[in-house]
Amino acid sequence: MLKEAWMLAIEALSWMEKDKINEHLALAKTAKQLEISDVNALRFAHRLLYETVRRRNLIDRFINEVLKPKALSEFTLGVQSFLRLYVYQTRVAKNWSKIDVEEAKNIARLARSILGWNTLQNVEHVLGFLLTESPEPLLKGLSDEEKTGLLTFHPTWFVKYCFKLFGRKEALDMLEANLKNPPVYIRVNTLKGNENEILEKLSEDGLKVEKVEELKYAYKVLSAKHAINNTKSFKEGLFYVQDKASCLAAEAASPKPGMVILDVCAAPGAKTTYLAQLMQNRGAIYSFDYSRRRMNVWRGEVIRMSVEIATPIIADACNPLPIAIEADMVVLDPPCTSTGTFAKVPSAKWRLTQRSIEKMAEIQWQMLENSAEKVKPGGTLVYSTCSITAEENEMLVERFLKWHPEFKLTEIEPKIGLPGLRGMEKCQRLYPHKHECNGFFIAKMLKSKLE
């Protein structure tokens, strides 16, 4: 089991580096490639990979210090991945204090059998130093933001950004919350039957859940005997794995049976399937996404959840939407920097720069403009992101309202988040450290009726 787990983790981390994909995709791709299905191996590899990637900046800095005058980037992807995983497992996981020489020797043996003796011999001599050197010197002479970045495992630019936006104390609380795995939430699918009956079936499947009181059908998963995606209840479409914040976005839209709704950037299907549920499968939903691969996932989810009113349309919302319809409601959840999901997808924080925020805001602006064109007078436009930045949220909505005076912000129900920044109190924000979910932003805008 251990060899399979380490093989999985090394290969998955290498794929992440090579193809710039996230942890989930890399693990799925690697497990299929290596034909590994052992549940224990998959679980161990999952933890090892995620926790290593989460702390990547400090781990890399430590390795490069020990390797001097060489650098980590001079070695093959396999060796780079192994060294990162090795430092996490032998040092970081033990809070840098306890040294287990036997474990380190066993891991080195596994690495030789996976990567080959010749491949590993170039770094064999540094494994002992990696096991015993202190990380303390890495923090000397650094600015407050740089030190905070290393201690909370975030890029320095992001720490500076958060300090400026939220203040030091609030920012620190949020950054530290990103080190914990957030709870898993599910949304019970009442298109498949009575809520209480579904809850009984979940219990039979070994799922212990707790109601999120402010939301209609959301539950926090307290424990599960098996991987929840492998349960009978999941396969029968009795629930959807959906973050609390995402559930709020659908409920904030407050769709009614019989409405015509455009779901823009719809894949992989969380919004479409929840909107259809709230509409009791009556009305019409047109779901847009540019990615054929993601829309194939959407199709599978729509079938699994017994949604009958959704039509898929492959289209890039940066261009005018190819449909001659004025909708009662347009729901837009555009691509974003995902700065609210760093706890769940740690690799996202290492792919971004300050410039990423500006680039993403421009894409979001184009999509918002194109979405607004399809809202009928008296209709609703709902905009949401899983980002905590002001540029992608309040500043974008401010700009939109300035250019489109026919739209006005309206109150969002239920109120489970905090008011938006920059005086936009009708918007809602959710934060990992306050709401136990992804960082999230929602704005709901009404279009005035014709005179």
Name 287's bridge partners: 263, 312
DSSP 135: S
Q: Indicate if 265 belongs to the active site.
A: no
Residues 356 and 280 in one domain: yes
User: 419, 429 in Cβ contact below 8 A?
Assistant: yes
Residues 213 and 314 in one domain: no
CATH of the domain at 236: 3.30.70.1170
pLDDT at position 34 is 86
Q: Which domain holds residue 168?
A: 144-177
Residues 255 and 385 in one domain: yes
Residues 39 and 113 in one domain: yes
State which H helix or E strand residue 443 sits in. Answer: strand 440-447
3-state secondary structure 5-22: HHHHHHHHHHHHHHHCCC
Residues 330 and 438 in one domain: yes
Residues 270 and 402 in one domain: yes
Name the residue among 49, 12, 50 with its Cα closest to residue 34.
Answer: 12
Among the candidates 241, 265, 286, a domain finishes at: 241
pLDDT at position 225 is 87
pLDDT at position 82 is 94
CATH of the domain at 59: 1.10.940.10
Among the candidates 241, 260, 279, a domain finishes at: 241
Residues 286 and 370 in one domain: yes
Residues 149 and 23 in one domain: no
pLDDT at position 182 is 87
Asked if omega into 414 is within 30° of 0 (cis), the reply is yes
Amino acid at 218: A
Cα 404 from Cα 443, distance rounded (Å): 15
**End-to-end Cα spacing for the chain:** 70
Catalytic residue among 265, 386, 427, 437: 386
Residues 79 and 46 in one domain: yes
Residues 22 and 159 in one domain: no
Residues 208 and 106 in one domain: no
One digit per residue, the tens of pLDDT, for the chain of length 451 reads 888 999 999 999 999 999 999 999 998 999 888 888 888 888 999 999 999 999 999 999 999 999 999 999 999 999 999 999 999 999 999 999 888 999 999 999 988 888 887 888 888 889 999 999 999 999 999 999 999 999 999 999 999 999 999 999 999 999 999 999 889 999 999 999 999 999 999 999 999 999 999 999 999 999 998 889 889 999 999 999 999 999 999 999 999 999 999 999 999 999 999 999 999 999 999 999 999 999 999 999 999 999 999 999 999 999 999 999 999 999 999 999 999 999 999 999 999 999 999 999 999 999 999 999 999 999 999 999 999 999 999 999 999 999 999 999 999 999 999 999 999 999 999 999 999 999 999 999 999 987 4
The structural domain count of the chain equals 4
CATH of the domain at 306: 3.40.50.150
pLDDT at position 311 is 97
Residues 326 and 197 in one domain: no
Rg (CA), the chain: 24
pLDDT at position 116 is 85
Q: Under the phi-then-psi rule, with left for phi > 0, alpha for psi from -120 to 50, and beta for the rest, what region is 207?
A: beta
